[in-house]
Amino acid sequence: MTIERPQRLRSDPGRFHQCQLAIEDELIELVGRACDAGWHRDEILCAMMEVIDDLALARREDVAISVEMRVARLLGKNRG
């Protein structure tokens, strides 16, 4: 299954809802496949939330590290 490409600019308030609709079928299919494999729906949904939280945290850490590296470079340039 293909996920629909965004049709709206990032600044468009409707883009978030469009994204939800674009990924919804894939997520429902994933939950169904996991159920078919023997996992209970509640544990699947909780596991998905944990994975999503981990991905969001990793992104924040990547951003923080990137900012720290930029600040360090700027401080290094100012000292030299």
Taking only the tens place, the pLDDT of each residue in 46-65 is: 999 999 988 888 777 776 67
Return d(Cα 31, Cα 4) in angstroms, integer. 19
**Please, which residues have CB within 8 angstroms of residue 66's CB and are 6 or more apart in sequence?**
none
Q: What pLDDT digit, counting tens, does each position of 5-48 carry?
A: 999 999 999 999 999 999 999 999 999 999 999 999 999 999 99
pTM: predicted TM-score of the whole model, two decimal places: 0.66
Domain ranges of the chain: 1-39, 40-80
The average confidence (pLDDT) of the chain is 86
